[in-house]
Amino acid sequence: MRLPKTLLSALVLATATLPAIAAGPDGDVEWNGISHVAWQDRRPVCPVNRETFQVRFQSYRDDLTGARIYVRNGGVSSFVTAARTGTRGPYDLWMAQAPAATADTLRYWIELTDGADTDCFSANGMNDASVPADSGFVVDFAKLSHAPVGATLVNGSATVFKVWAPTRTSVHVRGDFNGWGTGNPMTKVGEHFIARVAPSYDRQYYKYFFNNSVWNTDARARSLDPSNNLNARIENPFRYAWGDSAWTTPPLEDLVIYQLHVGTFAGRNDPLGSAPAPARYVDVTARVSQLVDLGVNAVMLNPVTEFPGDFSAGYNPQTLWAPEWKYGTPDELRQMVDVLHRNGIAVLLDIVWNHLTTNDNFLWNYDGSQTYFDSVAVETPWGAQADFDEPAV
């Protein structure tokens, strides 16, 4: 029996260590198990120059008897068979290789089969038919509209920048790569501005310049540096080599959880020695054996996204995308998670979705106009509420 399509994603996450409900070769594709987030499930993440790319997606384990992607490449349409490449919790992982494009626009959707049942997943979600009502996921090599919002490193020496600025008429990306000049104007595509800048490199600083008057950092930066004028950094999210491939999350009923605040975890009365204040991801990594000795098999991190100042419980975030810089780099956060996993300890993230800091809020009048918040502020006990009626917010 198919689960209701309105089932909250939180339920899917909560059952991540349990057998998939009703999954199996039963002639019914389980819609709730299907996931393909286009802007993060392609490899490379932002294909350029009509290059071939992988389409990755997941289904409930053992649910599908087959899958393939339908590709419309210029004037030619074809199917590419998808292969099951592994598992993650209750999910099977799939991959299909889209061919190199022969035109500037390539479209695709995913066809899913369980016995006699064939459905498809496309830009507007699941469909009972084998052909969707929409025209598929679009990869536009000319406009690069398929790029994720933020800064995406491509081919190691170029970056595609994309920023949401619906009310602006001009945006420049300025940074280490162009001497902080205005040599890289961005092109408006719908409500976004996009630019491909080459050469530009991993870990270089940058900022946006709106309407030739307003500077601001990247709202979707993977890394921010408050010690350097809150400049954003280009970050390669695949730079770190993970070593936790054997990791399996314990069943929920077996979790013994330790709430961990990175900034105060190490240093005071510490048998391993001193640590800076606040403590860092590397200090936690160096003390994982203490958690093992304590007998826990999960840690729940206080929020680690960027907050004002150096000391906070984490519940006053400036962003939901960049880890707190004073704790360390994104790769040091990855290493901490990796080492915890390799020592049998799960990592749970406490995340604040519903409010931002009341001070140093760079999203307020972000680009010189009020886009992230209602123009007449809707106040909460923790500050103004973001304009959640706006899809881009």
Q: Would you state the structure tokens that stand for residue 377, as one six-digit string?
A: 């502020």
Burial class from Cβ neighbours inside 10 Å (0-12, 13-18, 19+) for residue 62 reads: middle
Answer with the residue of higher pLDDT: 22 or 48: 48
What contacts 191, CB < 8 A, 6 or more positions away?
164, 165, 166, 392
**Which of 84-93, 104-113, 122-131 holds the top average pLDDT?**
104-113
**pLDDT at residue 177 tops 80:** yes
Which DSSP state fits 94? E
pLDDT of residue 21: 54
d(CA 184, CA 220): 19
pLDDT of residue 22: 56
**pLDDT at residue 13 tops 80:** no
Tell how far CA 379 is from the center of its chain: 28
Instruction: Write down the H helix ranges in the chain.
Output: 9-14, 262-265, 281-286, 288-294, 330-342
Q: Strand order in 83-88's β-sheet?
A: 42-43, 53-60, 91-98, 83-88
Q: Which 3 state secondary structure label does DSSP give 254?
A: helix
The number of residues making up the chain comes to 393
**pLDDT at residue 11 tops 60:** no
Q: Is the pTM of this model over 0.85?
A: yes
pLDDT of residue 380: 87
Cα–Cα distance list, 15 to 208, 326, 342, 365 (Å): 41, 34, 22, 39
When the pLDDT of each residue in the chain is averaged and rounded to a whole number, the result is 93
**Are the C-beta atoms of residues 378 and 171 closer than 8 Å to each other?**
no
**pLDDT at residue 207 tops 60:** yes
**pLDDT at residue 82 tops 80:** yes
**pLDDT at residue 23 tops 90:** no
Answer with the residue of higher pLDDT: 17 or 115: 115
What contacts 261, CB < 8 A, 6 or more positions away?
301, 302, 313, 314
Q: Which of 18-32, 319-333, 351-365 has the lowest mean pLDDT?
A: 18-32
Query: pLDDT-derived band of residue 122, with 50, 70 and 90 as boundaries?
Result: very high
d(CA 213, CA 362): 15
Answer with the residue of higher pLDDT: 313 or 384: 313
Q: Once rounded to an integer, what is the mean pLDDT over residues 97-121?
A: 97
Q: Once rounded to an integer, what is the mean pLDDT over residues 69-90?
A: 94
Tell how far CA 378 is from the center of its chain: 28
Query: Could you tell me if residue 40 is left (phi over 0), alpha (psi between -120 and 50 degrees) or otherwise beta?
Result: alpha
Query: Which pLDDT tens digit goes with each residue over 88-106?
Result: 888 999 999 999 999 999 9
pLDDT of residue 38: 97
Number of neighbouring beta carbons within 10 Å of residue 199: 11
Which DSSP state fits 264? H
How many alpha carbons fall within 13 Å on the CB side of residue 11? 10
pLDDT of residue 137: 98
**pLDDT at residue 16 tops 60:** no
**pLDDT at residue 195 tops 80:** yes
Q: Nearest to residue 186, comparing CAs of 219, 155, 156, 151?
A: 151
How many helical (H) and strand (E) elements, i.e. helices and strands, does the chain have?
A: 5, 24
Cα–Cα distance list, 37 to 91, 120, 121, 230, 267 (Å): 15, 14, 11, 29, 41
pLDDT of residue 79: 97
Q: Which of 86-90, 215-219, 344-348 has the lowest mean pLDDT?
A: 86-90
Q: Which helix (H) or strand (E) holds 188?
A: strand 187-189
Q: Once rounded to an integer, what is the mean pLDDT over residues 214-232?
A: 98
Tell how far CA 130 is from the center of its chain: 29
Cα–Cα distance list, 268 to 271, 273, 276, 280, 364 (Å): 9, 8, 10, 13, 37
Q: Nearest to residue 272, comparing CAs of 285, 260, 258, 254?
A: 285
